Amino acid sequence: MNRREALKSLSALIATGAVAASARASEMQGYPSNLAVADEFLPRPAMDGGKMHVLTDETALKTVTAVFDRLIPADDLGPSASEAGCIVFLDSQLADRFGQGAQLYREGPKLPGADELTQAPQFIATPRERYETGLKALEAYAQQTDGAAFADLQPDRQDEILQGMEEGSISLADDINTKAFFELMLQNVREGYFSDPIYGGNKDMVGWKLIGFPGARYDYRLYADRVGQKLDLESISLIPLD
């Protein structure tokens, strides 16, 4: 797998109709000042302090890090997923409402054939629970088939397993929708790479610089008449500046 494969669908949507800026963007002068959002309206920053809240099991942490770094590996375009803070992003999300499935209906009953009727997998487990069981099953699969931890396998073998998960040609366990678990991890690593750094990922705004996204800007009126021109706007995060 490579970065282009992992990011192509998401970055294509973001970049549609946009003029990409340079990764070493220079800020235009004369924009309105004092436009920062008040701190009380911002989410609490998920900073990388080296402490995990959910991904506390060392094996699980190594496994998901290895997965994320195969989905978005380091290359000449930028750092890997873990280097960009995607693991911090995931841990923060799993510890909060996303991980709790707060906005999901999970009461059941889960009827046979429901997935086909709704054209999407149905889950009673929360995303946090799906990660806990899924990562354990992935590690067990690697131990059973290769006699080694998933994180210790060669990159080509890791890719082979992940491709099998994506295609649905391998099953981690009878009670796990392997393909859906792969899709969940792919969704989350993309979110971590492109979300605002305030959520823990996209460290130094590397994802935004990759696609020329200017970030959380308040006002574009000064640039409204510059249609089709390269603006070279520096990416801006929601993280308050001291």
Residue partners of 94: CB distance under 8 A and separation at least 6: 53, 54, 55, 127, 128, 131
Number of folded domains in the chain?
1
First to last CA, the chain: 40
**Dist. CA 65–CA 75, nearest whole Å:** 16
Mean pLDDT taken over the chain: 83
Q: pLDDT confidence of 198, banded at 50, 70, 90?
A: very high
Q: Please determine, for residue 232, whether its predicted confidence score (pLDDT) is greater than 80.
A: yes
Domain carrying residue 144: 3-27+56-223
Q: Is residue 80, in this structure, part of any structural domain at all? A: yes
Q: In this structure, is residue 34 part of a structural domain? A: no
Segments in the chain forming alpha helices (H): 3-15, 58-71, 86-94, 97-100, 114-118, 127-146, 155-167, 178-194, 206-211
Q: What is the CA radius of gyration of the chain?
A: 20
Region 71-81 average pLDDT: 97
pLDDT at 105: 73
77 in a domain, yes or no?
yes
Domain membership of residue 108 (yes or no) is yes
- Residue 145 in any domain: the answer is yes
pTM, entire model? 0.80
Q: Does residue 230 sit within a domain?
A: no
* Strand, coil or helix: 215: strand
Q: Which pLDDT score is estimated for 124? A: 82
pLDDT tens by residue, 86-142: 999 999 999 999 999 888 777 767 667 666 555 566 788 899 999 999 999 999 999
Q: Is residue 164 part of a domain?
A: yes
Q: Answer yes or no: is 240 within a domain.
A: no
pLDDT digits (tens, 9 = 90+) for 144-194: 999 999 999 999 999 999 999 999 999 999 999 999 999 999 999 999 999
